[in-house]
Each structure stands twice: as structure tokens, then as C-alpha cells.
Chains A and B, each alone.
Chain A
Amino acid sequence: MIDILILFIAASLLLYVLLGGSDFGAGIVELLPAGRFRESQKQVINRAMGPVWEANHMWLILIVVILFMGFPAIFTTLMTALHLPTLALLVGIVVRGAVFTFRHYDAIQEPRSQRVYTWLFGLSSLWTALWLGIIAASLNRGIINPATREVWGAWFAPWWGLYPLAVGVFVACIYAFLASIYLVGETEEPELKRRFVRLAAWFNGLVVLSGGFVFLASLTERESLATTFLRNPLNLAVVALATLLFIVLWVFVAQRRTMLTRIVASGQVALILLGWYVLYAPNALITAVGPLNFYSEAAPPATLRQLVIALLVGGIFIFPSLYYLFRVFKMSHRTDSSRSGRG
């Protein structure tokens, strides 16, 4: 039971990063100067994200529900110690979702209000990505201390520092990288395609740089990533593989193999996440008083059984519908650009 649930959490997080993440990445892309591409880029992003962003966002809700039903102690410890970054994350989620929709459905499309929407959309996307990274980094630092009530130690120290910030930047770069790669296949316009390829290349470089920065920043932690990695050679292999795949990726980009580039880029991010899972599994959190792991913190078996049933039965409905959604919007060839949601 517990293994199935861990699998569901891991898979949901992966899908959230790949699908939801690229939606945030699109916001980050729109934050950059775009010159004459401003308008056409916006149209492409509206069309690409519009049908799927709410479904992509659901992976996060699924994680929360699995956590609070199946692993309540982990959920409440997290929500207590990381109260502030979670709050920041929520503000970003609220603003991003609302503004993205407002921008598209504003009945009067005028440059001034559209500019404000776009700006807020981009800023909230970047903001949310940063905080997700900060939260992820804080899980395993060994600073969370459920026993303390001292203001700094209890509510700030768990997520404060160079390392969480570095992970936040890393996540933002990954999101923007994924978005750029995915967006290449969303337009038929050659110049815009070239722009997205160029952006992908830039963000590719930034992913590598910020990844290195994460390693450096971890030197300020109790245990640096280098030490952790050396203990676990499998991880080193995984990260090396992810980096090597960049070569494959750019071969495919050069050959304009849209689907393959998407798969390879997703695979790279999956490997990075996998490396992170392997590093700490089966611990969900490492606190100052020791690790909290999924096996010891699980709810009673009767609860887990119902949760697994709900997930499996739900999956029977959800996966085919999701497949249909993506088939309709992502796999059919787009022949004209007038088919936007405003009909």
C-alpha cells in the first residue's frame, strides 16, 4: 500500500514539474524582452496553455490530498515549519492562475491592461517557481525542528539561506527551459520557432550554471551535496546521464524532431528528480531530530486502502480523459491559428 502511494506521490510530482512547470516556465519566458514577438508569442502561449493548465495544476492538489490523508504527520509538520514559503507559493499560484485567465477572457483587449496582465503573469510565474524550489530544498536540510517555538528557529531558519535560494533559481531555469522546448512545437511561424529554440539554448545554459550553483551553495549546508552524492554513486550516474542527454537533445532540435525533443527534455528533468528521490528516499523530511519517513508516518491501513482505491479508480477515469485532452490539443496538426478559445 505504502509503496503504491509513494509511487503516486513521486509520479504526481514529476508530472507537476513537467506539465505544470512548463506552464510557469511560459510565464517566465513572457517576462523577457520580446520586441516584435510580444503579441504572437502571447497568442501561442495562450493557445498552448489555455486548455491544459488547470489539469496540469491538479497534480499538485493530488500530492496535497495524498499527503494529508495518507501521511498526516508529514503534511502538518511541513505546513507548520514551512508556513511562510507555502503562503508565498499560494499567493503566486492564485495570481498566476487568475491573471492568465483574465488576460485571455477580458472582453476588451487593449494594450495597457494586456501589458499589466502579462507582467503580473510573468512575475507570479517566476515567484511561484522560486518558492517551490525553496520548499523542496528545505525538506532535507535537517533544520526543521518541530519542538522549537523560537521565532527565527521555527519559522524562518528552515528555509532561509543560499542553498534554498539556489534551488529556487534552478527550478525556475528548468521550468523556463521546458517551456521553451515545448513551445517550439506550438507554432508554425519560422521566426517564432527560431526564437523559442534560441531561448531553449539560453535556458539550457542557465540550467547547467544554476545546477552548478546549487552544488556550490550546498557547501554552506550541514552536509554538502557533493558528500551526499559521493556516498551514492548511482546518483552521480543519473546526473551525468541527464547532462549527456543535452547532446542528444540538440541533435534532435537541429533535425526539428519536435516530439523527440520534448521527450528528451522531459527525460532529463525526470532524471534530475529521480536523482533527488534516490538521494533521500524513503524519507519525506529530514528534521533536526531525525528523518520522518513515509513508512513510519503512514496513516492506518484502513485509510491507506481507501486512498489507494480512490487513486486507482480515479486513475481509470483520469488517464483516458487526460490522454484525450492531450490528443485533441497537442497531437493533432494545427492548420490555422484562429481556433483560439474565444471562438
Chain B
Amino acid sequence: MDNLVAARATMAFSLGFHIIFAAVGMTMPFLMSAAHCLYLRKKDPAYLELTKLWMKGVAILFAVGAVSGTVLSFELGLLWPGFMVHAGPIIGMPFSWEGTAFFLEAIAIGLFLYGWNRMNPWVHWATGLAVGVTGFTSGIFVVAANGWMNAPAGFDWVDGVARNIDPVKAMFNRAWPHQSLHMQLAALQAVGLAVGGIHAWLWLHGRAPDLNLKALRIAMVLGAGASIIQPFAGHFAGESVARLQPVKLAAIEGHFETSRHAPLTLGGLPDVETRTMRWGIPVPGLLSLLAHRDADAEVIGLDRVPREDWPPVLITHVAFQLMVAIGSALALVGVLWFWFQRRGRFPRWFLWVLAVCAPLGIIAIEAGWVVTEVGRQPWIIYGIVRTKDAVTPVPGMGYHFGLFLALYLALATTTIWLFHRQIQALQKKFGG
């Protein structure tokens, strides 16, 4: 395997793996704390049961998140020394704050997991909440680093060297607001729906119905709520991309020729050879309207940059379509959830819908990151450093990739197996 391709594959795979556990680490503690709070106030043992069940999930997933995150912080140097040597001093700041947040998170999780009966119950509860707050905060910080790769700021680029470095400006780059808003919502949405979906499935199979319904109600507050807000945040992200990275937007939409009154193509596959969109349904003027709030505005196309500076158009476009399709469907599910909740009962078919939706949020997160990262190519720092110039000179990256592929697949399999065993144990306890 080509070294650059292998390094990119390794990075993509490690990040794609980490983000699942990171999303869980930013959301599950809140669900757990909600159940814990309900238990402490109502003394209903079902909530205690639920808290402990979720706590075990958090413990397992947090550990995998922590070790895969450790791998990432080293991989920035192992794979991209040509990036870090420039980027470290500029964008290390959010990482240093992220590190602080992680430290507090690691302390809080130790206190929560092992602190039963050792502390005042409400102090103990607060340590659980602190896990969520610090995890959520660290997620916001790390996205600042990624935002900077998309919208570099806080330095002058002189003859291949960064001068006048201003880490504060770099951290508060222009891509941070939309990316962190969208990502944090995505975590709440994806994990809320995943947890809700699993409990809906368990409920449908008649297992511990009371417990599972309680779990579903807590999880869907976040899952359904975030699902409804997410398309707006996504639209905000799209508008910002139109401003900051017009080439990425062109790739997202398969928009080859710069034009006014640009159409939005629903579905369809871009063909880079003929520079056309095939099999899509164009809606005239909609792209101009969405990107610039004016149906006659000019939208920059891929023709504005040389061919070798195009990102992979097909991948970016398909990933984007997938994300938006899921986002739209989930928004509908969110609305339905609140509607049924007001009516006070959930029909069986809707719980099946929820069960089917369990993995969709996670898939949308993965697709979204593919849009962001693949859409930025060939740049690692947009417009400044090319990915191929940042890659490590160490040969044999293909082995590195293979090693981590095997390691992470083993980890993922074991994690799933462990969850299966948790459910088995639950079943034994409650029958069904």
C-alpha cells in the first residue's frame, strides 16, 4: 500500500473508531446521572438498576475511548510529523485545555464508579455528572483543533514557516462555532437514539418492560430533542462551509461549474470525467438559496481550482447525502416521539422504528466526518500544507494500518460480546 494512502487510512480508521466512544463518553454520563437523580429523589429501585446498568456501559466504553484517544495523540506525531511541527505550537492550546478536561474526567469517573457507599449520595451523584460535563467540554475543545485545519488562523505563513503565532486566535477560528455546535448535538443525538433504540428493542422482546420504558424515556429526551435541532445546526454548518471552504461545498454538492442560480441536486452521483451529475433531481436555485440566502447568488464550482486540488468528489458527495438523509429521517422521528409522548402511549410499530434507528446517528457521525476530512483534501491545513507533505517518512505504513485494524477489530468484537453478556445477565435477573 502506498505510504500516504496507508497513513490516511490509519488516521481515518483510528478517528472513526475513537469518535464512537467519544460520543458515548459525552452523552451516556448525562443519561446515567438523570437516572441516578431520579433514583435519589423517588427511591424507585428500578432507577438504581438502570443507573448501574448504564454505569457498566460507561465504564467499558470509557476505557476503550481513553485508550483509543491515547493512540490518537501519539498518532498525530507518528503519522503527521510534517503537520505537527507547524501545527503543534499554533493549535496545541485547545489540546492543552482538552487535556485538563480529560484529567478531571478521569478523576471523576474513578470517583463515580467506585464511590458507591463511600461518599454522600449527592456528592457521589455530582461526580457522575462531572464525568459528562468534562467529557462534553473536552469534545468542544478538540473540535477547535479540527476547525483550525479547515479555517487556519492565528499565524502568518512566510516561506513555509509559521510566523507571528497567536494561539488564542487560532483556537477561536471561524470553523469552530459551527463544527462544535454540530458535533456536540450529533453526540447527544446519536447516543440518545442508540441507547433509546436498544431499550426499545429489549422492550419489544418483553424484557424487563418497566425498566426499559423508563430508560427509553430518559434517552429520548436527548435523542429526539437533538434530532429536531440538528438540521438547523447542519444548515448553519453548510452556510459556513460555503463561506470558508467553497471548494469543499462544490465537492459536497457535485457542483462543477461556477454559476448563479445554482441548483441543488437531490441524490445523484457526480462523474468527474464528464463533470456532470448523473441520475439526480436538480432543484433550480436551491443551492444558491441555501448557501448564500439568495436564489440568484453565485456559487463557486470546482472549475475555480486546478484539477489536482479537487477533493475526492464522489466520496464527499455520497457521504454528505447519507448524512442529510439520515438527519432528515431522524428529525421526523424526533417530532413523532414528542407527539406520541404527549398522547401518552407509543404504538408498537413506532418502537420498532426506534429500534431500527439505533445505529443511524452513529452512521451519520461517521459520514459527517468523512465529509469534513475528505472534503478538505488535498490539504491537511486548508490552503497551507498539503497532506502529502505532512506524512511521516517512516516506510511500511501499510503494516501500521494492518496492526491497528486488527487490534481495533478485536476490541470492537470484544466490546460487543461484553454488551451481549450484560444483556444476558439482565435477562437472567428479570426473566423474559
Contacts and interface: CB of A to CB of B under 8 A. Distances in A.
Contacts of B403: 87, 91
B70 A90 contact: yes
A95 B63 CA distance: 10
Contact of B424 (A90, A93, A107, A306): A107
Given A302-B165, A328-B118, A341-B114, A68 B92 contact: yes
B277 to A, nearest CB: 42
Interface string B79-117: 001101110111011011101101110111111011111
Interface in A49-101: 50-55, 57-58, 60-62, 64-66, 68-70, 72-73, 75-76, 78-80, 83, 86-87, 90-91, 93-95, 97-98, 100-101
Given A80-B394, A343-B52, A314 B109 contact: no
Interface stretch (B287-295, B307-315, B414-422): B414-422
Contacts of A317: 100, 104
Count class of interface residues, chain A: 35 or more
B110 A80 contact: no
Interface in B64-79: 64, 66-71, 73-74, 76-78
Interface centre among B73, B110, B425 (most CB of A within 10 A): B110
Interface in B381-432: 392-395, 400, 403, 407, 411, 414, 418, 421-422, 424-426
B67 A58 contact: no
Contact of B67 (A93, A151, A306): A93
Contacts, number: 224
Interface centre among B81, B104, B403, B421 (most CB of A within 10 A): B81
B335 interface: no
Interface string A95-129: 10110111011111000000000000000000000
A73 B82 CA distance: 10
Contacts of B393: 80, 149, 154
B108 A98 contact: no
Contact of B71 (A52, A94, A322): A94
A331 B90 CA distance: 42
Contact of B106 (A57, A155, A340, A341): A57
Interface centre among B107, B116, B117 (most CB of A within 10 A): B107
Interface centre among A68, A108, A310 (most CB of B within 10 A): A68
B356 interface: no
Nearest to A69: B92
B83 to A, nearest CB: 9
Interface in B112-131: 113-119
B97 A310 contact: yes
A98 B21 CA distance: 13
B141 to A, nearest CB: 10
Contact of B68 (A64, A68, A94, A299): A94
Interface of B: 52, 56, 59-60, 62-64, 66-71, 73-74, 76-78, 81-82, 84-86, 88-90, 92-93, 95-97, 99-100, 102-104, 106-111, 113-119, 165-168, 392-395, 400, 403, 407, 411, 414, 418, 421-422, 424-426
12 contacts: A50-B113, A68-B76, A69-B95, A69-B96, A79-B77, A79-B81, A80-B81, A94-B68, A307-B96, A324-B107, A325-B111, A342-B56
| 7 closest Cβ pairs, A-B complex | A69-B92, A79-B77, A314-B100, A299-B89, A101-B63, A72-B88, A76-B81
